[in-house]
Structures are given as C-alpha cells and as structure tokens.
Structure 1
Amino acid sequence: MVKSAADTSAADTRERIVAATQKLLAVKGIRALTVAEVADLAGISRAWLYRQFPDKQAMVGAAIVATTDAFWSDARSELERLDSFAEQMIVGVRVGRGAYDDPGPVLIRLQLTEPEAYAACIGPGVAGLIPGLAAFWRPFVDAAVARGDIAAGHDPEETSEWVARVMISIGTTPSPTINPDDPADVSRYIHRYILPGLGTVPD
C-alpha cells in the first residue's frame, strides 16, 4: 500500500516532534519542557503538534519509547546468532538495560529527579512500547517453539507479549533478589522461573 502525501507528512511531522522532545528532555527535563518549545524546535505550530499528540504526556512518552527502539533494532542480529531462547532472553535484558546508557543518563536522571512526571508520561509510552517489543520477540518465540525451547501449545502472540513484559520488568524494576546487570543472576532467574513455565504445555 502506497502512503499518501498526507500520511507521509504526518509521519515526518511526528518524527520531528519526537526528535525535538528528546533533545529538550536532555536539557530541560519533563516539568520544565513546554509544548511551545517543542513545536518551535520542530518547526511547526502548536495546533499541528496537537494533531499528532493529544497532550504533553503522550508526546514525552513517545520520546522515551523512541530512545530504546533503535537499540532493539540493532539487537536483532545479535540475538539471531544465539542458539537458545534462554541465551536470547539473557542478552535481551542486557540490551534493554543498554538502551538506558545512551542517552541513558537522561532517562535515568528523569526517573530519579522527576519520578512522578516520568511515571505519568511512561504510561502512554508503554502503551506503544509493548506491541512493538512483542513484535520484536515474535520471531524468536516462533523459533524457540520449533526448537523445543518453548512447549508447543503456547499461543505465540500471547507468549511474545508476555516475554516483552518480562523483559521490561527485569530491566527496569528494582529488585532485592535479581541484579539485572549481572548475567549470571539473570540466567539463574530465567532458568529457575521463566523457562519452566514456557516449557510446560498450557492447559
């Protein structure tokens, strides 16, 4: 299907808004950032910006998600070289954590200095992140079923979404029992809790 000029223009405008938001977040943070500043930097009117995003929270959420998308795209070839789903999940946690390293300090700083504002924005962002991350994991889930790493009978779409949610949880939620930056710790957790569930034929 060929995109119309209007569709292309809207997509380009959205990308410009997200890029401008990312730049301003690094300098100003969430609370100090204004829609007017983003519109000015993107070279559009505020009215046109609101045609792409209903409010500031949705706009910032999209910018937060966009900072991690490139990392998952680059990670695909790395995960494809691994022989087991367990290895792919372990590396997946590392890659997901790495998404916060560049420009990770910005996201981590926002989480620490503006936790309420960050949480309010990441909600709309995660709404878009989950489907995208589930789609990323879908071919790996399909291959894992074919190899026998995941028991046949699991719904692949549902499983892919669950894996996406697990990756987000391990990589971003503080825990007293698992260090997401320790591959051995992540491996123990995955082999002890996640793989047994995936290896069991569902009812």
Structure 2
Amino acid sequence: MSVDAALSQERRLTARGAVTRNRIVQAAAELFYVRGVDSVTLDDVRATSGTSKSQLYRHFADKDQLVHSVIDLRADQILNRDRQLLERMNSIRALERWTDTIIHLNSLQDGAYGCALGSLVSARAAQDPTSRGKLAETFAEWEQFISAGLRRMQENGTLREEADPDQLATAVMAALQGGYLLAQTAQDVEPMRVSMQMALDHVRSYVVA
C-alpha cells in the first residue's frame, strides 16, 4: 500500500475503526518488543488484541504493513519522550538527567528487552527497505535532539568551540544502543550504565572548566 493510500484509509476510518486499529498496533508493539518480530504471527496479534481475522486484515494487508505502523508508534513515543527531556538541554547536567532517566526506565524491566526501536532495526532493516527508511529517519531525528543541545552548550560557552556536536551526539547514541544490547544480554542494566558513563565522560572532556 502506498503512503497516499494509507493516509486515505486512515481518513476513512470510523471512530470505532480507529480504536480497533490502534488496539491492533498497540498489541503488536508489545508482542514484538517482548518476543521479537520474527517470532510473532498475525494470529498472535489477533488473539492478543481481541480482534477477528477480518478486522485485522481490514486494517493491515500483511505483516509488513503492521510492522511499519508499529515503527511509527514507537518513533512517536520515543521522540515525544526525548523531545521533552532534551529540547531545552543547555548544560552537561541536563544531558546527565536525560541519561539517568533512560537508564532508570530500562532498569524497571532489568534491561531484559532492549530498545523498543533498536530491536526493530535488527529484525527488519536488512530485509525491508521501508522499515529501514523509517528507522533511519527516526534515529537521525533522535540524534538531532542531542546535537542541538550540544550546540546550545557551545553557544552559551559551556562546550569548547573545537567540539563537534554531531560527532558527540553520534557517540552518545552509539553508547545508548550498545548499552541497551548489553543490558538485554545480561538482563542487568549495569552495562548500559557503564556505556553511557563512558560516553558522557567523552562529552565532559570538551566542557569548559
């Protein structure tokens, strides 16, 4: 289904249809996160969401379409969360607070499931160009929140002029995603804490004393 066709379908949804569609996407997102995309079938999603086969296929012709909607959902959730945390970031302490929040949220489940968005990358990026494009766009926007905050730190004299905000933001994002993966493997958030501490130490090396 093209993007225009998908938008047209969404506009035609009744209120009840929108509720059903949202319930399906929410159920799929949770199943994909806990069990992995490849191990979840459409029948699993149908059973969890309490929808009939005809209801599910009315909204999603195949699993790929459902995955794309889950990516959109996770992207909105993560970007909205971090926009609130990072849109006014202008100090190293603000970056530390964001880091502490992310680690705390992951600690609530002992780091067992990794990043809700990163797990979709490993499952779909290699085989699905649409998923890869959506994920790449989201990660770029996510990283931009960090680099924009680092630029504000340069503007207010907190960060040295020779620092490269884009490169530092990439390093922080790499540490975050690597930390998620290590925490998931260990089922312990401590490796994530160490990874992020090292990344922040690198940023601190550019902070004006």
TM-score bracket, shorter-length normalisation: 0.5 to 0.7
- Provide, for residues 60-92 of structure 1, a one-character-per-residue CA deviation record: whole Å limited to 9, x for no partner: 666666664454245347xx4x7622x233222
**Structure 2 vs 1, CA of residues 42 and 23 (structure 1 numbering), >3 Å: closer, same or farther?**
farther
In structure 2, the partner of 1:19 is 26
CA RMSD for the aligned pairs?
4.9
Distance 2:8 2:50 in 1: 16
How far did residue 97 of structure 1 move?
A: 1.9
Q: SS in structure 2 opposite 1:72?
A: helix
Q: SS in structure 1 opposite 2:106?
A: coil
In structure 1, the partner of 2:122 is 120
In structure 1, the partner of 2:94 is 88
Distance 2:196 2:78 in 1: 20
Tell whether 2:140 aligns with 1:134.
no
**Structure 2 vs 1, CA of residues 37 and 129 (structure 1 numbering), >3 Å: closer, same or farther?**
same
Q: In the TM superposition, what are the counterparts of 1:68-87 in structure 2 within 5 Å? A: 68-69=78-79, 71-76=81-86, 80=88, 84-85=91-92, 87=93
How far did residue 21 of structure 1 move?
A: 1.1
Distance 2:81 2:44 in 1: 27
In structure 2, the partner of 1:114 is none
**Structure 2 vs 1, CA of residues 84 and 97 (structure 1 numbering), >3 Å: closer, same or farther?**
same
In structure 1, the partner of 2:152 is 143
Distance 1:134 1:186 in 2: 15
Distance 2:193 2:30 in 1: 27
> Are the equivalent residues in 1 in contact too, given 2:148–2:165 (CA < 8 A)?
no
In structure 2, the partner of 1:169 is 178
> Are the equivalent residues in 1 in contact too, given 2:24–2:45 (CA < 8 A)?
yes
- Provide, for residues 170-192 of structure 1, a one-character-per-residue CA deviation record: whole Å limited to 9, x for no partner: 454359xx85447xx9557633x
> Are the equivalent residues in 1 in contact too, given 2:27–2:45 (CA < 8 A)?
yes
Distance 1:76 1:23 in 2: 26
Q: SS in structure 1 opposite 2:64?
A: coil
Structure 1, unmatched stretches of 5+, are: 112-116
- Provide, for residues 26-82 of structure 1, a one-character-per-residue CA deviation record: whole Å limited to 9, x for no partner: 77665542124436739654474257x7377666666666664454245347xx4x7
How far did residue 99 of structure 1 move?
A: 3.4
Q: SS in structure 2 opposite 1:150?
A: coil
The one-letter amino acid of 1:98's match is: H
> Are the equivalent residues in 1 in contact too, given 2:121–2:135 (CA < 8 A)?
no
The one-letter amino acid of 2:60's match is: L
Identity of counterpart residues, as a percentage? 11
TM-score of the superposed pair, with normalisation by structure 2? 0.53
The match for 1:190 among 180, 188, 200 is 200
Structure 2, unmatched stretches of 5+, are: 126-131
The one-letter amino acid of 1:93's match is: T
In structure 2, the partner of 1:98 is 104
Distance 1:8 1:144 in 2: 43
**Structure 2 vs 1, CA of residues 70 and 98 (structure 1 numbering), >3 Å: closer, same or farther?**
farther
TM-score of the superposed pair, with normalisation by structure 1? 0.54
In structure 2, the partner of 1:54 is 64
Distance 2:106 2:68 in 1: 20
Distance 2:61 2:5 in 1: 19
Tell whether 2:42 aligns with 1:35.
yes
